[in-house]
Amino acid sequence: MTRITSPSLALDAEALYAELLRGVRPLVAAQPDTRLAGVTRGGAWLAARLQRDLGLPGASGVISSSMHRDDFAQRGLAASAQTQLPFDVNHAHVLLLDDVLYTGRTLRAVLNELFDYGRPASVRLAVLVDRGGRELPVSADVAAARLSLPASQSLELEQGDDGRLSFVVEQRA
């Protein structure tokens, strides 16, 4: 596995975060009672930071795909995989955050998880990177970047102790 940290400007995670904030701001302005929920792990970092930067009251939610994944048998339950939604999902306008959108399978599972908690009024999706390669009919309302990466590469968001975000590209052997 080869690791390349932020190989190009296009994958500068801090610059992409600023673009995500710009993209999400008008959505939240149009629907001020929007509730943010981030997909573990990277999406949860984004949701928490957006909650602060958008000046939204309270805490953002965390949502896990673990319980509904179609590859649950291989992956099992991650230790960090706990959904915590500090709002009533019924009638809520929910904005889901994720770091990378690829096949769409995680989002399919996340939607099942969300609906276990109630019937939202609407659900939208914002991501840092849409890397193409969709296998399900899932699309992002906001994507800070849309890239096409070969299947041999995996894009991982990392968060430093200072909160700074960076992307690492892993090249599978």
Ligand X SMILES: O=P(O)(O)OC[C@H]1O[C@H](OP(=O)(O)OP(=O)(O)O)[C@H](O)[C@@H]1O
Ligand Y SMILES: O=c1cc[nH]c(=O)[nH]1
Judged by CB under 6 A, the chain residues 81 through 120 that form the site for ligand Y are 100, 102
> Edge to edge, what strands does the sheet with 35-39 contain?
61-63, 35-39, 93-101, 122-130, 142-146
Judged by CB under 6 A, the chain residues 105 through 144 that form the site for ligand X are 105-106
Region binding ligand X by CB under 6 A among candidate stretches 6-14, 19-27, 85-93, 96-104: 96-104
Q: Which of ligand Y, ligand X, none does residue 155 bind to, with CB < 5 to 8 Å depending on kind?
A: ligand Y
User: What is d(CA 69, CA 108) in angstroms, rounded to the nearest whole number?
Assistant: 8
Strands 165-171 and 153-159: antiparallel
Binding mask 29-58 for ligand X (x = CB under 6 A): ----------xxxx----------------
Helix axes 13-30, 42-53, angle to 10 degrees: 60
Asked if residue 70 binds ligand Y (CB under 6 A), the reply is no
Q: What is the DSSP letter of 4?
A: E
Q: Which is nearer to ligand Y, 34 or 40 (CB)?
A: 40
